[in-house]
Amino acid sequence: MNEYDLTGRIAVVTGGAQGFGRAIAERFVASGAKVAIWDHDIALAEKTAKEIGAEATAFKVDVTDLAAVEKTRDETLKAFGKIDILVNNAGIAGVNKTVWETDLEEWRKVLRINLDGPFICCKAIVPAMLKQGYGRIVNIASIAGKEGNPNAAHYSSSKAGLIALTKSLGKELAQHDILVNAVTPAAARTAIFDQMTQQHIDFMLSKIPKGRFVLVEELAALVAWLASEDCAFSTGAVFDISGGRATY
């Protein structure tokens, strides 16, 4: 494992209780950071934090609730004194249906968690980053946001929106040492698969030229670089990790 130096950095990883978020939290801690795991599944978040060790702390928060996010930001600042890194990772797949079969409430739920959530966390945390003059924000989007997966219009639209949020905020903060980037992974075998049909999982695998799912550790390595000082000139950018699926 190559090492990116995150010594002394404080990171918030939303949805860090499992899957990509947990792998990112583990990689950050291995790189010298302290991590606040923000997750609405507090039991799992606490178990994960305990397994990772003293450098990880669990906080219960629903990222769709601005007041709750502001409160958790304040608790995190009180506990650690600053927030250097924000990884907007919490997300859901939603139910796999065509556009015309999708319930309006289901559409709204996916948009609320996958797009409102990152907006709310950025809105709450960027002022603290501006005050300290440093920050790294990494948004976990998806190849679905570039290509638009059938039977996942809500999910694909939320991730396309997250890519646009990344580009807008990146430009707004470009004059500061606060970088905002997105990653667009192919599918990874995590608990999120439980929300999808087997047909949809098979479809996603069939689209990956490398012929396998991405490993959570592979994504964590890319995110660790984006969260480090080594990443200094890229902002508002989208980093592919789709096993060759992306053509742009």
Ligand X SMILES: NC(=O)c1ccc[n+]([C@@H]2O[C@H](COP(=O)([O-])OP(=O)(O)OC[C@H]3O[C@@H](n4cnc5c(N)ncnc54)[C@H](O)[C@@H]3O)[C@@H](O)[C@H]2O)c1
**Taking the complex as a whole, how short is the minimal distance between the CB of residue 42 and ligand X, in angstroms?**
9
Q: Which is nearer to ligand X, 8 or 209 (CB)?
A: 209
Q: What is the spatial distance between Cα 34 and Cα 201, in angstroms, rounded to a whole number?
A: 34
Q: What is the spatial distance between Cα 227 and Cα 7, in angstroms, rounded to a whole number?
A: 12
Residues that bind ligand X (CB under 6 A): 14-15, 17-21, 39-41, 61-64, 89-92, 113, 117, 140, 142, 185, 187-188, 190-192
Q: Is 155 a catalytic residue?
A: yes
**Taking the complex as a whole, how short is the minimal distance between the CB of residue 63 and ligand X, in angstroms?**
4
**Taking the complex as a whole, how short is the minimal distance between the CB of residue 155 and ligand X, in angstroms?**
7
Q: What share of the chain is helix, strand, coil (3-state, %, to 5)?
A: 50, 15, 35
Q: Which is nearer to ligand X, 129 or 144 (CB)?
A: 144
Catalytic position from the list 4, 134, 155, 248: 155
Comparing C-alpha atoms, which of 95, 78, 82, 94 is closest to residue 10? 82
CA atoms within 13 A on the CB side of 88: 34
Say which amino acid occupies 219.
L
Q: Which is nearer to ligand X, 192 or 229 (CB)?
A: 192
- Contact between 192 and 90 (Cβ < 8 Å): no
Q: What is the spatial distance between Cα 189 and Cα 210, in angstroms, rounded to a whole number?
A: 15
Say which amino acid occupies 96.
N
**Taking the complex as a whole, how short is the minimal distance between the CB of residue 2 and ligand X, in angstroms?**
22
Q: Which is nearer to ligand X, 32 or 221 (CB)?
A: 221
Q: Which residues are catalytic?
A: 155
